[in-house]
Structure 1
Amino acid sequence: MLIFMTSYVCRRCQVHSPTDTLTWCCPKCRGPWDLEFAGGPVSLPSLASRRNSLWRYEEALPPMPCAPDVTLGEGRTPLVPLEEGEQGSVSAKLDFLMPTLSFKDRGAVMLAAHALRLARNGSLRRVVADSSGNAGTAIAAYGARAGLDGLVYVPKGTSPKKLEQIRAHGARVVEVPGDREATARAARAAADEPGTFYASHVYNPYFLHGTKTYVYELWEELGGRLPDTIVVPVGNGTLLLGAALALDELHRHGLTDNHPALVAVQAEAVSPLAAAFHAGAEELGEAVPVRPTLAEGIAIPAPPRAHQILRAVRATGGTFLTVSEDQIRTAQLELSRRGLFVESTGVACWAAVRAAAPRPGLTVVPLCGAGAKTGLAR
């Protein structure tokens, strides 16, 4: 099966750029890139003999010659039942069991492998990232694995445990006064400096092609089928957009015949996408006040891929749900009593499913980050 990739592309402006350059955004609109990529179908029977990492789906992934030098065995996380009901059941995918204890490893390994290729070509001197914690940790770890110099921008007040983890991997930390958006602006300014690769989990589409393996794993685990509903937390939407990519690919190759709904979850305190969705809008409306939330990982007031996120949810017949701070606290304690200690952002989907009307069939929620990173929500 022939696999090819031509360039980065901005779907809005139809601007293209080679993937071996350090151009991190569309030069016309400053928006995020997508990837012109066509992969082949994955053979379900062949998977039994393959390596136990996300690279088992290599036909569906952009070519990564440096992958063997970067991988930490990420992927293949367990799917465990949480609740059985008359109308349907809920299972959780334990992505907090990744090497750096969050789902962000799925995308970070792709960015690191691509960055290492650029470094070996002589065009890259350092890697810059911005994060509320988990993405920065993952990029620091995989950057260390690749032997790359890393600089991670984080909001001031980020969990000390996450900062310790980033520094332990050898990356330098820059704490930025202000909110998550101020942090992103600082990192983007640094990314414009020569020789810098912006390992952005938002702007760089390689990250999305890593997170799509979440759905490929569900497809494999369920014997070639998919859940009826896939619930995902949404801030910048990297897991949701990766899931949407996988659903499109699996259906295009005729590998599944069921069509899951994508249900997106935001915190009530920071829910611009939910507001736009329920207003029937295709873009975000005017900026709304942002309140503090325990779900810091999805507290994104202006996600750059908002249009894509809204379109992806609507295309699957899904919806947006929001959760309160009390619901987040309760959900974290409840999961802990079941043996699953998950950080407060990571329990948002379970909190939403508990509060919503049961959906028929199988619903899958991700438990995205380990509770050891932040402790119990207070």
Structure 2
Amino acid sequence: MTTYRCPADGTRSPVESLAWCCPVCGGPWDLDFDASPVPLESLPRRVNSLWRYEEALPLSAPLTSLGEGRTPLVPLTPSVSAKLDFLMPTLSFKDRGAVLLAELARRLGPDRVIADSSGNAGTAVAAYCARAGLPCTVYVPEATPVKKTEQIQAHGARLERVKGSREATALAARAAAGEPGTFYASHVHNPYFLHGTKTYVYELWEDLGGRLPEAVVVPVGNGTLLLGAALAIGELRAHGLIGESPALIAVQTEAVSPLAAAFHAGADELLTGAAPAPAPTLAEGIAIRNPPRARQILRAVRESGGTFLTVTEDQLRAAQLDLAARGLFVEPTGVACWAAVGGWTDRSAVVPLCGAGATTGLAPAAGPAASQPVRPQPVQ
């Protein structure tokens, strides 16, 4: 076990305490953990899951693994490739972090595990808690798609539907997290989750022969994939395993884009004052108005030389149809990055495709222009 550390004020807490946030400022934890170099040449002889990067992970020898990780990297254009994280055990990249949370909870032996989610993270935590034999309750917004709540309940988790926004759901879960004997499997507050999502970049590094693309493009709501990517890039660079670091390109929707607004205003944290009310969006998985790690997200993007891009609802619809025409059926949230950079030709980039379309279906058409998929040219 290592130690939790608050990035805002330096407060520390033993992992065994089950404290889910900093008791001083209420913010999310980081982890006092120093990764060791991963030897590229030894990887072909290792287990075919994310646990092959054992030197970089704060836990080892898991009993909860479902073979997660090692998802395919597929070219979409000469410049842009897609990493197919919708082929994970529960159909999203959230498995990368959930397996570490469940493994940590199994070792700590709490009375109960709780999580909050708009769908994918809750499904992942429920599945891995089932694997670990842990009782689990998942808080979800009342409007969560039925197919996703069915997935959660199929794994034996108790479902708590919360009226209101995604933020209201998080508040309900956090209220329950203070009960004795409770492990809060928060994909936002618990840094073990970020150390799981960083394996996304370790896999890119391995598959590209010890290098990374010029840009790593990720959808951002709470920023767990982006911050995991930043962790991995920092570790690889510190160990001399890569040369130039890629730019982190963060994607939000125009409907809900508080981080993009702060970034382009030059702010270090979310803007205060009279912000426009968020509009409904098809990309509900990244529709987060107040991400607790906002300051860390903004800093990571700036330090990488990256930027924030936003996409419209029509772009999301068109991108989902375009990918389906290429043989890849992904949920609307999962196509946001392709919608943002699919036309890039000036630098190499990788986008994640996360969340199977089978769990949400096609986004409703907004008019004739959105009703027909783009017919791509075959990959050469």
- What range describes the TM-score normalised by the shorter chain of this pair? over 0.9
2:32 to 25, 33, 36: 36
Shift of 1:359: 5.5
Residue identity in the other structure for 2:330: V
How big is each residue's C-alpha offset from its partner over 1:97-149, in whole Å with a ceiling of 9 and x where there is no partner?
A: 00000010000000000000001xxxx10000000000000000000000000
Aligned residues of 2:85 and 2:92 also touching (Cα < 8 A): yes
Is 1:313 equivalent to 2:295 in the alignment? Answer: no
* Equivalent position SS for 2:139: strand
1:56 corresponding residue in structure 2: 52
Corresponding position: 1:19 with 2:9: no
**Total equivalences in the alignment:** 362
Residue 109 (1) aligns with residue 105 (2): no
Deviations 1:263-303 (A, max 9, x none): 00001100000000000000001244111100000000000
Paired letter, 1:247: I
Q: Say whether residues 1:159 and 2:145 are aligned partners.
A: yes
Residues in 2 aligned to 1:39 and 1:281: alpha-carbon distance in whole angstroms: 31
- For the 8 Å contact 2:51–2:60, the answer to whether it is kept is no
What is the identity, as a one-letter code, of the residue corresponding to 2:271?
G
Which whole-Å CA distance do the structure 2 matches of 1:6 and 1:317 have between them?
31
Answer whether contact 1:272 1:288 (CA < 8 A) is retained. no
Q: CA RMSD in A?
A: 0.9
Within-5 A mapping of 1:271-350: 271-286=257-272, 287-350=275-338
User: 1:62-92 CA deviation, whole Å, 9 max, x = no partner?
Assistant: 0335x1x1000000000000012xxxx0000
What does residue 350 of structure 2 align with?
364
State TM-score, norm by structure 2: 0.94
1:182 to 2:178 alignment? no
Question: Aligned equivalents of 2:229 and 2:11: distance in 1?
Answer: 25
Partner SS state of residue 97, structure 2 = helix
Counterparts of 1:78-117 in structure 2 under 5 Å? 78-84=72-78, 89-117=79-107
**Given that residues 323 and 352 in structure 1 are in contact (C-alpha distance below 8 angstroms), is that contact kept between their aligned partners in structure 2?**
yes
1:20 Cα deviation from its structure 2 partner? 1.2
Is the 2:148–2:359 Cα contact (8 Å) retained in structure 1?
yes
2:360 aligns to what?
374
Equivalence for 1:131: 117
Shift of the alpha carbon at 1:360? Answer: 2.9
Q: Distance in 1 between matches of 2:180 and 2:57?
A: 28
Given that 1:228 and 1:360 are in contact with CA atoms closer than 8 Å, whether structure 2 keeps it comes out as no
8 Å Cα contact 2:331/2:356 also seen in 1: yes
Unaligned 5+ segments in structure 2 are 365-380
Q: Secondary structure at the match of 2:32?
A: strand
Aligned to 1:75, which of 69, 72, 87? 69
1:368 deviation in Å? Answer: 1.2
CA 1:202–1:359: 2 relative to 1, 3 Å: farther
The one-letter amino acid of 1:101's match is L
Shift of residue 39 of structure 1? 1.5
Q: Does 1:211 align with 2:213?
A: no
* Large movers: runs of 4+ above 6 Å: none
Of the candidates 143, 154, 161, which is equivalent to residue 129 of structure 2?
143
Q: Which runs of 5+ in 1 are unaligned?
A: none
State TM-score, norm by structure 1.
Answer: 0.95
Q: Please tell me whether the aligned partners of residues 64 and 114 of structure 1 are also in contact (alpha carbons under 8 angstroms).
A: no
8 Å contact from structure 2 (residues 59, 100) kept in 1: no
Tell me if the contact between 2:86 and 2:354 (Cα under 8 Å) persists in the aligned partners.
yes
Alpha-carbon offset, residue 13 of structure 1: 1.1
SS of corresponding position for 2:316: helix
SS at match of 1:83: coil
